[in-house]
Structure 1
Amino acid sequence: MPLASLIGRWAMQPFSKALPPLGDTERAALEAGTVGFEGLLFAGRPDFDVLTAMGPNRLTEREQSFLDREVRELCRMLDDHAIDQARDLPPEVWRYLRTKRFFGMIIPEEFGGLGFGHFAHATVVARIATVNIAAAVTVMVPNSLGPAELLLRYGTDAQKARYLSRLADGRELPCFGLTSPYAGSDAASIPDRGVVVEREFGGRRTRGFLVDFDKRYITLAPVATVVGLAFHAVDESRPEGERELGITCALIPVPHEGMEIGRRHRPMDSAFMNGPIHGRQVFVPMDWVIGGEKQVGQGWRMLMECLAAGRAVSLPALGSAMQQTALYVSNGYGQIREQFGLPIGKFHAVAGLVAQMSAELYASDAARRFTAAALDKGERPSVASAILKVQLTEAGRRAVNHGMDILGGKGIIAGPSNLLGVSYRQAPIAITVEGANILTRALIVFGQGAIRCHPHVLGEMAAVQARDEAALGRALVAHGKHVAANLWHSLVGAPVVGEPPEALAREARLIARMSAKYALTADLAMGLLGGRLKRMELLSARLGDVLAHLYLASACVWRYRVDAAPELLPFAQAAIRLQLDEAGKILRDLYANLPTAGRRVIGALVLRRTAHLAPLRDVQLMALAELLRTNPRIVQRLAPDLSEPAAGGLRDLMRAMELGAQLGDTTAALNKVLRRTNSFEEAARSAPDPELALAYLKAADKVIQVDDFEGPSAQKGQALSQPLASPSPSAPPPSAHRPERTTPPPVPAK
């Protein structure tokens, strides 16, 4: 008997117990999508030729024109504060979105849509989100997981003909109902049921489902004209054990008998539309099932296949937009605002935060763009898309938090001139939706990644389920060689496969070495803990996070090559260092928490020679901050999607930064005179160009000032002790009082 068969016979019984069984929903998730460069990282052998062969992001002429014209015009219609106060987009914005087909970006031109690629789609969302997140969410949902994509991939010809052109031009506005009160993260267990029946409908006897459902958190539901609905299909006429048909997706027009829709949730009081949908005994003809009767029971597979790509587009674009805006605001405000006679951006505590934000943005946006390039080549990287969803939404939240710390009082006073307050309030939304990050890190990035990305585990599981001893033996022999190679590379150093850019050769060696250490650690964890690892979510989340940081670090290498921007080399190097340092810290924590005897010895052995992963030193952070302060082109390269809004604090800051750039180094001298004279006019007369100097001083003062509003004593006929009535959601917001000053406020005597 061959050696492989003997090994397989010996291993079959223990592996049958150790490997976790796969349910139908888990199998659908695992089989969805493709494996890209993240698979090479999981194997411990990243190939930099494969990485750089992905090529740069490309926009068609139509896509570029749309960004330059329609998107720019839309952004100049958006007033973040006014929209937030009104809790809705203005009617003219809704009309513009429909007229210019923002809701049909993913729909092909043959159906009346724009037919954009993934990178163009993500760029549109990111640019809108830099000025108003509510508008970005409104645009992204019809182009994300929902009726349009499901129809394109699975719909019947009749369904495509009926809906796609109407979705493209906004005559139909879609939403998709998946989440239920008792099935959030565990979406596959939704209790909503549809029972096969026949009844009179449209003047004829019709076969369909009678559905009861209860959905919540459904974006665009209050204004939707067509509802995509996921429910469990049941056929009670079948024998016991065959009645459950599986999750099914259908389209329901609004209004429809038995369905209640139109009420609103207020997620963090945001202005985008979101609300519940309820249905009791709602008849859904079989023709309304997406794909027709042959697709009954295939809904979960359909959703997982769409999410394999969708998670990499919209929410990462929102996270990137928050990072870009926060970096621009923090860096710009740090140059305008002075304390103790210096711009606050020169203080190391502030400069260090801004530098770290820039390095994180370089890495996260590199990963977002790299994955978009893969999507536009036809790949559907399910694990990488989950990495992006977690890492970019978390990076967006961190960036806004840092920005709020830097802004201080300016950041916490609500009003038209606030710079980050609305984003700060809305950051948790992206963290929560499309799979909460706390779940995604453990169960998708690693839980799915360990099986999909590992070169041998999927084969071992298939052999065990098929009871194929020879196949199991062959997979185990290959797995043993794989572990031995990664052990050797972890101890003595891993080779660099391919040719990374020469300027990042050292960083590439670090990525290769850390990848080998990670691959060995993942095998040790799975081998020592077996099926228990699936339940030990703190450990599996750490393993998922290390893979994520390796992916972001590798994407920096790709970005530096395709960007051909040598001025960004310090940011690329810093970004890789930060990601690898974080990966090293997480691995050390993981070994410290392994419930295995000798874990410290194993960890010390695997993690030896990692002293080179020291974090960025203060002097390096200060150098990055200095580049950001003195070279506006670098900020433009790091935040290319930043757009100009209709009004508000961001526009004020842009104006002040533009005038400050024209003045150059004279702003410091101007501010010094201003502190002495307390007069804009007198300070301006000291400059070579008094008119420009006066414009700058007034613009800078506008940035520094905050808004105030009428107090209770100003309410005519209102007793001070009487509680104020809550404003109507449709009432116009009270006007902010922020007069333009001719002189600065008095400076306290020293």
Structure 2
Amino acid sequence: MSLASLIGRWAMQPFSHALPPLGDTERAALEAGTVGFEGRLFAGRPDFDVLTAVGPNQLRAREEAFFSNEVPALCRMLDDHAIDQARDLPPEVWRFLREKRFFGMIIPEAFGGLGFGHFAHASVVARIASVNVATAVTVMVPNSLGPAELLLRYGTDAQKDHYLPRLADGRELPCFGLTSPYAGSDAAAIPDRGVLVEREFQGRRTRGFLVDFDKRYITLAPVATVVGLAFHAIDESRPEGQRELGITCALIPVPHEGMEIGRRHRPMDSAFMNGPIRGRQVFVPMDWVIGGEPQVGQGWRMLMECLAAGRAISLPALGSAMQQTALYVSNAYGQIREQFGLPVGKFHAVAGLIAQMSAELYASDAARRFTAAALDAGERPSVASAILKVQLTEAGRRAVNHGMDILGGKGIISGPSNLLGVAYRQAPIAITVEGANILTRALIVFGQGAVRCHPHVLDEMAAVQAKDETALGQALIAHGKHVAVNLWHSLFGAPVLGDPPEALAAEARLIARMSAKYALTADLAMGLLGGKLKRMELLSARLGDVLAHLYLASACVWRYRVDAAPELLPFAQAAIRLQLDEAGKILRDLYANLPTPGRRLLGALVLRRTAHLAPLRDVQLMALAELLRTRPDVVARLVPDLAEPGPGGLRDLMQAMALGAQLGDETAALNKVLRRTRSLDEAARSATDPALALAYLQAADKVIQVDDFEGPAREPEAADLSRAPAVQPAPSGPPPSARPPERTIPPRVPAT
């Protein structure tokens, strides 16, 4: 008997008990997608040649033309405040989105769509979101997980031929109903049921499902003309125990008998359409099942396979757009707004925050672009997609929070000139949808990564399931060698594989070393805790976070090479250092919380030689802030998706910055004169170009001002301050909550 067989025989029983049991839905989620560079990080072997073999992001001619024409035209139509107040997009915007086929970006040209790649799709969403999030969400949903993508991958030819051209040109507007009141994050537990029946439908006997469902949080539902629906299919004619056919996806036209649709939710009072869908005894013919009868029961697999890529596109694009807008606004406002005789951006507390925002943005956008390039190359990295969804939406929220701190009172006064208020209110939405971040961190990133990305765990699980002792022994021997190598690299230094950019050689060594320490830590945690680790979500979340920070740091190396932008080197270095510093802190916390004896000794050994992974020093942050203040070209490279909006505070800020750039250093002298005279005209006359100076001062003043509105009506005698104000009578009529929500259905484009 071979050594592998002996080891396998000895280990089979304890491993059978230690490995957590997997249900069908968990298995479908774990097996969805592919493994990218995150797998090399999990193994402790980041190869920088493999990293940089992923080519740069490229736009085709048609995509470039769309970016140069349709996208800027749309953004100039968007007034963030007006849309927010109207709680809907203007009719002309709905019409433009249809006519220019924004809803058909992922649909191939053969079906009348734009046929864009993943990077182009994500960049369109980011540019729109930099101006108005509600419009970006409206564009993003038809191009994300939903009817179009499901039809492209699994639909019958008849379904594709009917729906895809109509979805591409906006004649049909889709939504997808998955979430129910009793199954949110645990989406596989939806209680919605469809019983297989045969009944009269459109003049003939038809097999199908009689479905009862209750869905909520469904974006575009109030205006949708076709509903994608997920439900559990049941065949009651089968023996007990075989009746569950599995989750099934179908398309239902609007209106349809038994389905209630049209009411509206108000997610953080946002303007995009979102609402519930309910159905009682809704008949769904078999022809409406996506893919027809062969795909009955395959819905969960479909959704997981689509989500493996989809998480990396739309929501990360929203997060990146929020970061870009917040950085631009904070940096620009910090130059225009003065207090104590200085631009507020020169105060170290503000400058350090702006510098940190820029370093975080460099890393976030690097990861987003790197993953988009991998997707365009045919990969479907499910773990990387989950990493991006969590990290970029959280980074977007942090950036907006920092921006609000810097804006001060300017940031909290609502109105047309507000710069970040709407984004601040909407930031939690991206955190919540497509898998709440708290769940994704705790269960998915490491839970899926430990199986898919680890070089040996999947082989071990397969061997245990097959009761193959030899295969288990072979996998364990390979696993033991893997642990020994990572232990050596953790203690004495890891080699740098491949050829990273020379300017980032030191950072590449740190990534390699931290990757080895992470791989060893992951093996120790799994070995010491076994299946219990699945339930110890604080620990598994930390393990997932370290992998995420390593992924973002590695993406910075890729971005610096493909960008060929030496002026961004300080930001690349700072971004990598910030990510590795976070990874180190999390690892220290993890070892402090391992529920095993000797955790301090383990931590001291594994985390040896990480003392120099210190956060950026103040002088480095100030250097970044100075670059942002004095190099508009650097800012433009960091915020490439920032679009010119319609009227409002952001456009006013852009105009003030453009005029200030023409004046150059003369703005400081102008502000000194203005502090003495308090007259824009008099201050402008002191400049070499008074007309330009006056235009700048007026634009800067417009940026500094905030909005005010008409107050409540006052009785004439109320002007007498010696009298108490009259008590206003309570309004008559029902409260606002008793009124039905508005429903605005955009006009349909006539069929051609």
Tell me the TM-score normalised to structure 2 length: 0.96
Structure 2: which amino acid aligns with 1:531? G
Distance (whole Å) between structure 1 residues aligned to residue 364 and residue 6 of structure 2: 47
- List aligned pairs for 1:239-388, cutoff 5 A: 239-388=239-388
Aligned residues: 732
Matched-pair contact (CA < 8 Å) for 2:262–2:743: no
Aligned to 2:616: 616
Aligned to 2:750: none
Aligned to 2:448: 448
Secondary structure of 1:474's counterpart equals helix
The Cα of 1:30 is off from its aligned counterpart by 1.0
Structure 1: which amino acid aligns with 2:126? A
Secondary structure of 2:710's counterpart equals coil
**Cα distance change of structure 1 residues 531 and 712 upon mapping to structure 2, 3 Å threshold:** same
Structure 2: which amino acid aligns with 1:439? L
Q: Alpha-carbon deviations, 1:592-627, whole Å to 9, x = none? A: 000000001100110010012010000000000000
Q: Alpha-carbon deviations, 1:400-433, whole Å to 9, x = none? A: 0000000000000000000000000000000000
Structure 2: which amino acid aligns with 1:406? I
Aligned to 2:32: 32
The Cα of 1:511 is off from its aligned counterpart by 0.0
Matched-pair contact (CA < 8 Å) for 1:264–1:276: yes
The Cα of 1:722 is off from its aligned counterpart by 3.0
Distance (whole Å) between structure 1 residues aligned to residue 611 and residue 57 of structure 2: 35
Secondary structure of 2:69's counterpart equals helix
- List aligned pairs for 1:288-687, cutoff 5 A: 288-687=288-687
The Cα of 1:21 is off from its aligned counterpart by 1.0
Distance (whole Å) between structure 2 residues aligned to residue 166 and residue 285 of structure 1: 20
**Cα distance change of structure 1 residues 716 and 224 upon mapping to structure 2, 3 Å threshold:** farther
The Cα of 1:724 is off from its aligned counterpart by 6.2
Matched-pair contact (CA < 8 Å) for 1:712–1:720: no
Secondary structure of 2:89's counterpart equals coil
Distance (whole Å) between structure 2 residues aligned to residue 279 and residue 509 of structure 1: 58
Aligned to 2:729: 722
Distance (whole Å) between structure 2 residues aligned to residue 450 and residue 586 of structure 1: 17
Matched-pair contact (CA < 8 Å) for 1:259–1:282: yes
Matched-pair contact (CA < 8 Å) for 1:150–1:290: yes
The Cα of 1:713 is off from its aligned counterpart by 2.7
The Cα of 1:717 is off from its aligned counterpart by 13
Distance (whole Å) between structure 2 residues aligned to residue 317 and residue 715 of structure 1: 51
Distance (whole Å) between structure 1 residues aligned to residue 630 and residue 37 of structure 2: 36
Secondary structure of 1:303's counterpart equals helix
Distance (whole Å) between structure 2 residues aligned to residue 154 and residue 529 of structure 1: 40
The Cα of 1:720 is off from its aligned counterpart by 5.3
Secondary structure of 1:613's counterpart equals coil
Distance (whole Å) between structure 2 residues aligned to residue 715 and residue 402 of structure 1: 42
Contiguous gaps of at least 5 residues in structure 1:
733-750
State yes or no: 1:19 paired with 2:19: yes
Distance (whole Å) between structure 1 residues aligned to residue 3 and residue 508 of structure 2: 38
Distance (whole Å) between structure 1 residues aligned to residue 492 and residue 96 of structure 2: 61
Secondary structure of 1:713's counterpart equals coil
Structure 2: which amino acid aligns with 1:391? Q
Matched-pair contact (CA < 8 Å) for 1:86–1:730: no
Q: Alpha-carbon deviations, 1:575-601, whole Å to 9, x = none? A: 000000000000000000000000011
Distance (whole Å) between structure 2 residues aligned to residue 223 and residue 602 of structure 1: 57
The Cα of 1:210 is off from its aligned counterpart by 0.2
Distance (whole Å) between structure 2 residues aligned to residue 189 and residue 702 of structure 1: 53
Secondary structure of 1:260's counterpart equals strand
Matched-pair contact (CA < 8 Å) for 1:86–1:731: no
Secondary structure of 1:236's counterpart equals coil
Q: Alpha-carbon deviations, 1:711-744, whole Å to 9, x = none? A: 1136999975235687897799xxxxxxxxxxxx
Secondary structure of 1:206's counterpart equals strand
Q: Alpha-carbon deviations, 1:91-111, whole Å to 9, x = none? A: 000000000000000000000
Distance (whole Å) between structure 1 residues aligned to residue 541 and residue 118 of structure 2: 28
Structure 1: which amino acid aligns with 2:436? A
Matched-pair contact (CA < 8 Å) for 1:245–1:296: yes
Distance (whole Å) between structure 1 residues aligned to residue 207 and residue 729 of structure 2: 60
Secondary structure of 2:612's counterpart equals helix
- List aligned pairs for 1:39-50, cutoff 5 A: 39-50=39-50
Q: Alpha-carbon deviations, 1:190-221, whole Å to 9, x = none? A: 00000000000010000000000000000000
Matched-pair contact (CA < 8 Å) for 1:113–1:165: yes
Secondary structure of 1:611's counterpart equals coil
Aligned to 2:749: none
Aligned to 1:99: 99
Query: What RMSD over aligned residues (CA atoms) do the two structures have, in Å?
Result: 1.4
Aligned to 1:740: none
Matched-pair contact (CA < 8 Å) for 1:15–1:464: yes
The Cα of 1:443 is off from its aligned counterpart by 1.2
Aligned to 1:129: 129
Distance (whole Å) between structure 2 residues aligned to residue 468 and residue 722 of structure 1: 81
**Cα distance change of structure 1 residues 264 and 310 upon mapping to structure 2, 3 Å threshold:** same
State yes or no: 1:709 paired with 2:716: no
Aligned to 2:723: none
Secondary structure of 1:276's counterpart equals strand
Matched-pair contact (CA < 8 Å) for 2:263–2:743: no
Aligned to 1:187: 187
Secondary structure of 2:331's counterpart equals helix
Aligned to 1:747: none
Q: Alpha-carbon deviations, 1:256-279, whole Å to 9, x = none? A: 000000000000000000000000
Distance (whole Å) between structure 1 residues aligned to residue 583 and residue 332 of structure 2: 31
Matched-pair contact (CA < 8 Å) for 1:312–1:385: yes
Aligned to 2:169: 169
State yes or no: 1:3 paired with 2:10: no
Contiguous gaps of at least 5 residues in structure 2:
719-725, 745-752
Aligned to 1:237: 237
The Cα of 1:31 is off from its aligned counterpart by 1.1
Secondary structure of 2:713's counterpart equals helix
Matched-pair contact (CA < 8 Å) for 2:222–2:743: no
Q: Alpha-carbon deviations, 1:129-186, whole Å to 9, x = none? A: 0000000000000000000000000000000011000000000000000000000000
Matched-pair contact (CA < 8 Å) for 2:362–2:572: yes
Distance (whole Å) between structure 1 residues aligned to residue 155 and residue 716 of structure 2: 60
Distance (whole Å) between structure 2 residues aligned to residue 693 and residue 418 of structure 1: 24
Distance (whole Å) between structure 1 residues aligned to residue 189 and residue 157 of structure 2: 30
State yes or no: 1:139 paired with 2:146: no
Distance (whole Å) between structure 2 residues aligned to residue 697 and residue 721 of structure 1: 42
Q: Alpha-carbon deviations, 1:339-370, whole Å to 9, x = none? A: 00000000000000000000000000000000
Distance (whole Å) between structure 1 residues aligned to residue 397 and residue 438 of structure 2: 14
Aligned to 1:89: 89
Secondary structure of 1:612's counterpart equals coil
Distance (whole Å) between structure 2 residues aligned to residue 659 and residue 233 of structure 1: 63
**Cα distance change of structure 1 residues 141 and 477 upon mapping to structure 2, 3 Å threshold:** same
Matched-pair contact (CA < 8 Å) for 1:8–1:471: yes
Matched-pair contact (CA < 8 Å) for 2:315–2:389: yes
Q: Alpha-carbon deviations, 1:441-467, whole Å to 9, x = none? A: 121110000000000000000000000
**Cα distance change of structure 1 residues 715 and 140 upon mapping to structure 2, 3 Å threshold:** farther
Q: Give runs of ≥4 in structure 1 deviating > 2 Å.
A: 713-720, 722-732
Distance (whole Å) between structure 2 residues aligned to residue 683 and residue 398 of structure 1: 38
